[in-house]
Amino acid sequence: MSDLLTNKIKTPDGTILESLYTHHYVTHLDANGFKYMVDGGLSYARRSLNKEFPYTELSVTTKDSHYLIREEFTWGNNYDEDGNLLEKPCRIRLKDMSTEHIISILNGKFASEGKVENVFKSELAYRSCT
């Protein structure tokens, strides 16, 4: 699989499950009575398997179009100021981020993973052409 930029599925009852970081194990008991899970953040994609009631894959990778990436890739804080994991992380879609915010992330070296850094650089290039 290409490098993950989002790691998510949709269960048969329409619930979206997304793993935001490595070992972020997310589960849901679907209306059909089966349990679904997603895990791995942007490091790997681990799923539950149910052949009778399959999930819909919604992950986005570096091989997808930039249009899809800017619609689906999110950035945000998973931790509060004290380093505690937030129960509900604050996330913003790439397309909704200000140019100044993206530049600040790149200048601060907060996007140290090459694939994420490239997403931000591609977005800046996209904006300069539109």
Q: What distance in Å separates the CA atoms of residue 76 and residue 18, rounded to the nearest whole number?
A: 14
| CA 121, chain centre distance (Å) | 17
Q: Provide the 10 A C-beta neighbour count for residue 82.
A: 5
Cβ neighbors of 10 (< 8 A, separation 6 or more) are 16, 17, 55, 56, 58
Going residue by residue through the chain, which has 130 residues, state the pLDDT in tens, using 9 for 90 and above: 469 999 999 999 999 999 988 899 999 999 999 999 999 999 999 999 899 999 999 999 999 999 999 999 999 866 666 667 777 768 899 999 999 989 988 988 776 668 899 999 999 999 998 6
Residue 14's pLDDT is what? Answer: 98
Give the CA diameter of the chain: 49
Contact 8, 40 (CB under 8 A): no
Residue 81's pLDDT is what? Answer: 64
Q: 1-28 b/e with 16+ CB inside 10 Å = b?
A: eeebbbbbbebbeeeebbbbeeebebeb
Q: Token match 């996007």: residue?
A: 111
Residue 87's pLDDT is what? Answer: 76
Residue 120's pLDDT is what? Answer: 95
Q: What distance in Å separates the CA atoms of residue 28 and residue 33, rounded to the nearest whole number?
A: 10
**Per-domain residue ranges of the chain:** 4-60, 66-129
Q: What distance in Å separates the CA atoms of residue 5 and residue 40, rounded to the nearest whole number?
A: 11
